[in-house]
Amino acid sequence: MNKKPLVLFYNFTAKMGGAEIVLLEFLKKSSKNLKYKVVLNEYGDFYNQLVKHQIDVDVISTNTNIFYSIKRESSISIQLLKSIPYSLMLLNSFLSYLRKNKADLIVSNTFKSHIIAGICATIVGNNVAWRFHDIIQREYTSHYFSWVNIFLMRIFSLKVLKIIGVSQAVVNSFKKFGFQKSKLSVVHNGLEIKKINSDYLINKNNNNIKIGWIGRFTPWKGIEQFINCAKMLIEQKEKIDKNFEFIIGGSALFEESDYELKIKKSIPEPIKKYFTFLGHIKDIDIFYNQIDIYFHTSIAPDPFPTTVLEAGHRGLIVFASNKGGAKEIIKENKTGFLIDISNLDAIVEKSIIVMNNLEINKKKGRSLYTMLINNFSSKNYCENLEYQFLKIMA
């Protein structure tokens, strides 16, 4: 019996984010053709989930805090210089691991692992593919790639066999910065779709509209814009036929805890009754099962927002930022609504119309749900990504 080729996924962090959620979804599906294994650089929630689902995982421990302290927007900084010896040690540890654990293909899944894997491809000749979850852009100060980052990526991508973007928006950003077009391909993420009862979609929260936002409390995710939009809706509540409230899930990373506090303090005391903050949530159904309308409000291009998929899989009405990959999921006034997050007046006006015609607009949630089944299911995602791996190794 022929031995299955080994695909080794390299994911620097063990924190659960969008990249980790969709990788876990992929790994939960067994493959007839390939064997999968994951390498991390720390223990954490992602490691625990991999173990829970009996997915083969190893940890190459390193000082992850020194790497987390480096901001992508910093070109040359003290923290960057301090990280150099740790980077060399990490590279050496990863190379030693590869010598002992032969992989037919290394697939890096996060930015830091892309650089390390790219170096391995350059100096050792390992077969490497990048699974890229970020849009390369320099417009937004809180979430962009420095010229140093882009230069390193250009250099270390030369020997990378394939760059598989999670959306056309990601691939287009690579083209814009001069990466080799022949190496670029798109495989959209997908999630397991739950069967939803039609009555649940039409009758949920009949007398009280619940509008939700979930994510990390960081400026580029647009939490401030969502809060400001909510305030404007409250100011115009006499135009809205039903009662409404706002459910907010998620929290800030430790180093941004002051920002989370600032957001909560920005809500005046008289209207705090309209807001519920759930904090960090491990079971996302606790959030999604409460709401009728989901708002995605990123002010920077979001590569392929997992939260839009999650909301769509539950048949919710979705308002999504028109920047980035959300445009590949949401079709205006058919499967949801695209919004220009810089124009809050227009968003509020559209929101009031939707809220006053809630039952009709809930049918758009059903249309989105159906579209996701056909185009962005877990099955399609897993089959398409595996096809790319087999094609690379052929």
CATH number at residue 59: 3.40.50.2000
Instruction: Clarify whether residues 366 and 383 are in a common domain.
Output: no
Instruction: Clarify whether residues 294 and 268 are in a common domain.
Output: yes
301: Cβ contacts below 8 Å, ≥ 6 apart: 135, 137, 169, 173, 323, 324, 325
The answer to whether residue 389 sits within a structural domain is yes
Nearest to 309 by CA among 359, 222, 378, 227: 378
Q: For residue 56, give its domain range.
A: 6-191+377-393
Instruction: Clarify whether residues 36 and 160 are in a common domain.
Output: yes
What average pLDDT score do residues 339-356 get? 98
3-state class of 340 per DSSP? coil
Nearest to 222 by CA among 124, 323, 350: 323
Side-chain-facing half-sphere of 223: CA atoms under 13 Å: 21
The answer to whether residue 305 sits within a structural domain is yes
Out of 10-14, 85-89, 182-186, 334-338, least confident range: 85-89
Instruction: Clarify whether residues 241 and 140 are in a common domain.
Output: no
pLDDT at site 202: 47
The answer to whether residue 18 sits within a structural domain is yes
Residues 309/376, Cβ–Cβ less than 8 Å: yes
Percent above pLDDT 90 for the chain = 77
Question: Quick one: residue 246, left, alpha or beta (phi over 0 = left, psi -120 to 50 = alpha)?
Answer: beta
> Higher-confidence residue: 197 or 337?
337
Say how far apart CA 215 and CA 213 lie, in whole Å. Answer: 7
Instruction: Clarify whether residues 212 and 178 are in a common domain.
Output: no
Say how far apart CA 148 and CA 135 lie, in whole Å. Answer: 16
Instruction: Clarify whether residues 351 and 238 are in a common domain.
Output: yes
pLDDT at site 145: 78
Over 50: is that where the pLDDT of 346 sits? yes
Q: What is the pLDDT of residues 170-209, one digit of tens each?
A: 999 999 999 999 999 999 999 887 766 555 554 566 689 9
Residues 389/9, Cβ–Cβ less than 8 Å: no
Instruction: Clarify whether residues 382 and 311 are in a common domain.
Output: no
Instruction: Clarify whether residues 205 and 140 are in a common domain.
Output: no
Over 70: is that where the pLDDT of 64 sits? no
> Higher-confidence residue: 114 or 139?
114
Over 50: is that where the pLDDT of 142 sits? no
Say how far apart CA 135 and CA 167 lie, in whole Å. Answer: 9
Say how far apart CA 96 and CA 128 lie, in whole Å. Answer: 16
Instruction: Clarify whether residues 40 and 83 are in a common domain.
Output: yes
The answer to whether residue 337 sits within a structural domain is yes
pLDDT at site 73: 46
Instruction: Clarify whether residues 209 and 311 are in a common domain.
Output: yes
Structure tokens at 163: 């760059």
The answer to whether residue 1 sits within a structural domain is no
Q: What is the pLDDT of residues 98-123, one digit of tens each?
A: 999 999 999 999 988 999 999 999 98
Nearest to 127 by CA among 141, 155, 98, 106: 106
Say how far apart CA 245 and CA 213 lie, in whole Å. Answer: 11
SS (H, E, C) 117-142: HHHHHHHCCCCEEEEECCCCCCCCCC
Instruction: Clarify whether residues 174 and 272 are in a common domain.
Output: no
The answer to whether residue 142 sits within a structural domain is yes
The answer to whether residue 223 sits within a structural domain is yes
Q: Look at the chain and report how many structural domains it folds into.
A: 2
Block residue for tokens 């227009």: 346
Instruction: Clarify whether residues 155 and 93 are in a common domain.
Output: yes
Q: What is the pLDDT of residues 204-241, one digit of tens each?
A: 666 899 999 999 999 999 999 999 999 999 999 999 99
Q: Where are the beta strands (DSSP E) in the chain?
A: 6-11, 35-40, 57-59, 105-108, 128-132, 162-165, 184-186, 208-214, 243-249, 275-279, 293-296, 317-321, 337-339
Say how far apart CA 130 and CA 294 lie, in whole Å. Answer: 31
* pLDDT level of residue 18 (50, 70, 90 thresholds): confident
**What's the mean per-residue pLDDT of the chain?**
90
